[in-house]
Amino acid sequence: MSTTTLPHQDTITEVLKSLETETTVLFEHLDLQFLYEFSVFAPDPRGRTREFHPPELFRGLLHCFYNSIYEPEAMAQELANDDVWRVCEFKRPPSRRTIGRFIDDLSGVVEEVFSRLVQQVLVRVELGSCFRIDGTDVRAPRPDEDASWNYDSTAEETYYGYGCCLVTTDNNIPIAAEFTDEKSVDKETARRITEDALAVKTPVTFVGDAEFDMLDWHDDLIDAGVVPVVPYNPRNTNDPPNIEYRIQKRIKEHSDTVRVWEKQLDDTYDNRSQVETAIGVCKDLGLGTPKVRGRERAKTHVFVALCLRLVVVIANHERGGDIASPIVEL
């Protein structure tokens, strides 16, 4: 009579680990049940059962973005793979039409979905004491009736498309964003996105380049107890004072006791380029390569890419990996 020897527990663990994919790790600690709280995804009041549910469809979308697949037809082909649709928890593969309809429904709430995922990051990760703000280009395919030609002053070139303003943290995590018509950021956009960021957490400093030398924006931050670190832009006055940073003048005007040493400001501003690194990671995950036309679809694409960035942060944090990485660590 033959006997069967059960494999050692360590062997079982190794086998299970070998079956892991980046997608299984990506979704391992992700909670998407909050999607049902949005009216567009709420259960049917007549009791009809959905064939495809919002969490599984959003997982499918995130999987495709992670693999640089952005068009509904290509997504449907990818999600027809047995291993993929099962990991995303579908009962069967969704059609192109189903995916397209979900993206249309998502467009109205995608910014709120991003904010909810920011909260899931917040309870896990220390965001640091310095926030950074910047705008970036979002290039669109032509023709696109909603897009326009814009000038990128950093690259010193024109481009066709839109823009996105982002606030990122010490550890390169996006926590607030606004889709815009161009890369340059106006005062009202800067004030709105800063208010969104401060609703997440109040940092010690808030860093931007000379584009953000805006009086109202500075005062908003000072009122919130935050030090804005932005180079003084001499083009904003006919009689520029001899200062490096706007905050130096504002403090002299409003306080006799507060002192901020220029070296402290220099040291803080020297790390401003981290926001470009953070934006680069988001672009690696799809922010900079929308393949869709029309403002609403482009905005949805941008925010799905930002959501994916947060999901990667959650996955890597839970595994003790590098939260700054654009890929999940197995």
Domain total of the chain: 2
pLDDT at residue number 81? 93
**Measuring CA to CA, which residue among 273, 209, 202 is closest to residue 245?**
209
pLDDT at residue number 18? 42
Burial of 202 (0-12, 13-18, 19+ CB in 10 A): middle
pLDDT at 13 over 60: no
Alpha-helix residue ranges (DSSP H) falling in the chain: 9-18, 22-27, 54-66, 72-79, 82-87, 96-107, 110-122, 187-200, 215-223, 246-254, 262-269, 274-284, 295-318
Say yes or no: 224 and 174 in one domain: yes
Say yes or no: 168 and 247 in one domain: yes
Domain that holds residue 65: 11-44+51-107
Whether residue 268 is contained in a domain is answered as yes
Whether residue 95 is contained in a domain is answered as yes
Percent of the chain with pLDDT over 90: 67
pLDDT at 90 over 60: yes
Whether residue 140 is contained in a domain is answered as yes
177: three-class secondary structure by DSSP = strand
pLDDT at residue number 51? 82
pLDDT at residue number 15? 40
Say yes or no: 87 and 176 in one domain: no
pLDDT digits (tens, 9 = 90+) for 287-327: 977 788 889 999 999 999 999 999 999 999 999 999 999 99
Cβ atoms of 209 and 230 within 8 Å: the answer is yes
pLDDT at residue number 299? 96
Say yes or no: 102 and 227 in one domain: no
pLDDT at residue number 49? 62
pLDDT at residue number 254? 60
CA 89 to chain centroid, in Å, comes to 24
Say yes or no: 101 and 132 in one domain: no
> Which tokens sit at 147?
């897009």
Q: How many CA atoms lie less than 13 Å away from 160 in the CB half-sphere?
A: 10
Q: Among 3-7, 15-19, 33-37, 135-139, where is mean pLDDT lowest?
A: 15-19
Say yes or no: 255 and 136 in one domain: yes
pLDDT at residue number 255? 58
Whether residue 248 is contained in a domain is answered as yes
- The CATH number covering residue 203 comes to 3.30.420
